[in-house]
Structure 1
């Protein structure tokens, strides 16, 4: 009985009776579709929505304007959800997770505030404290992306103040949350503007503070970008 021929791509010294798979690496192609950065849209949406809610908390807008503010904030959910989905497609799990969670927070605020449901303020207070825990975890893994990290860091005290204000009803906490909301809007607006300038001119114009892998991703060549590509989500077999 003659031995079976060795299939192409397989080693010739495979033991008889052993199953093997051919080496398909040379025939594998990974296609990536470049997209424009969605982050300026996400940061601008965050900033505008933060200004509206901050004005409500500071008393610039009367209580009768709560429903109107909720309806104006609702589009921020759609925009940031879109940014999150595009960021997932761009294989940026940190930006995608952050923007998607921000989208969920605006949707919850808009629905509860516009609906005028009983105990809505207390429920939103608990929700904001839950976002505070989420933000602490996100801040721990985001330092190489300083723009994202700074937005998260300034959002932490706002989530804390808003959450405690909803649970206690303390007016000074509500005002503090409003002031922190304006700070979030300022930081988010700067990050959005800096990223837009960078994308339009093809180089960093305003400092964003990237470091580590985030800096390499922008400054490195194509060979660096393709390193370990087969191990990234969407390419490997399971997540």
Structure 2
């Protein structure tokens, strides 16, 4: 009967089961390295605020119809910025923030391309797109409540997506104005969230209330042992996604 040595236990041997490949326990030899990064969320929220303010002003009539392409070009950089935020959030192991910011990035790109090119049927297509985004946002809002900053931005955004979608499908002016006003509200909420998170990062404590609860509160207030809990089961460490 063949024997093999278990790493880390010199002199000890265990019989290898017949017909099976012996797989040693490598836990004692494994090291998991984490690289701290700055929070990308203020950048993400400020980008939402600026893009929402631009599109909201267009819907409110602050800009003329001929300014649509210029607004689209101003919104286009939001795609790149929020894509960067999404990538960094994945690296920070925050799948909710990464998914939300990545989807926002795609929505700004779609808006900029449709409005900037003046594609035929753009109003109706964007109407359906916003209603689909409304469904996505409702699902995300259901799981982001402990992360109150994200949740609040989503809650304010939901009626805006609904009004924008219906305005695109029906052509009702009052729905467009309503969507524009809600866009300004989204911009204000996102600006508050970004500013609060920046102050928190600079002073290493909560300055303006954000309202974290549950796991989100524990993640910020807990010690290192809390941060590393179940690390071996997280994506990038476990064998499959």
The two structures have a TM-score, normalised by structure 1, of 0.96
**1:73 aligned partner:** 75
1:1-239 to structure 2, matched below 5 A, reads 3-9=1-7, 16-17=17-18, 18-239=20-241
How far, CA to CA, are the matches of 1:176 and 1:203 in structure 2? 37
Gaps of 5+ in 1: none
| Shift, 1:12, TM fit | 5.7
1:100-134: CA deviation from partner (whole Å, max 9, x where unpaired): 11111110110000101110010000000000000
SS at match of 1:22: coil
1:34-88: CA deviation from partner (whole Å, max 9, x where unpaired): 1100000000000001001000000011111101000000011110111011101
| Shift, 1:4, TM fit | 2.6
How far, CA to CA, are the matches of 2:75 and 2:4 in structure 1? 65
| Shift, 1:19, TM fit | 3.5
Runs of 4+ aligned residues of structure 1 deviating over 6 Å after TM superposition are none
| Shift, 1:5, TM fit | 2.9
CA RMSD after TM alignment: 1.4
How far, CA to CA, are the matches of 1:5 and 1:106 in structure 2? 61
Question: Size of the alignment, in residue pairs?
Answer: 237
1:113-165: CA deviation from partner (whole Å, max 9, x where unpaired): 01011100100000000000000110111111000001111110000000000
| Shift, 1:21, TM fit | 1.1
Gaps of 5+ in 2: none
1:169-220: CA deviation from partner (whole Å, max 9, x where unpaired): 0000000000100110011000000000000111111111111111111100
How far, CA to CA, are the matches of 1:15 and 1:65 in structure 2? 75
How far, CA to CA, are the matches of 2:231 and 2:223 in structure 1? 14
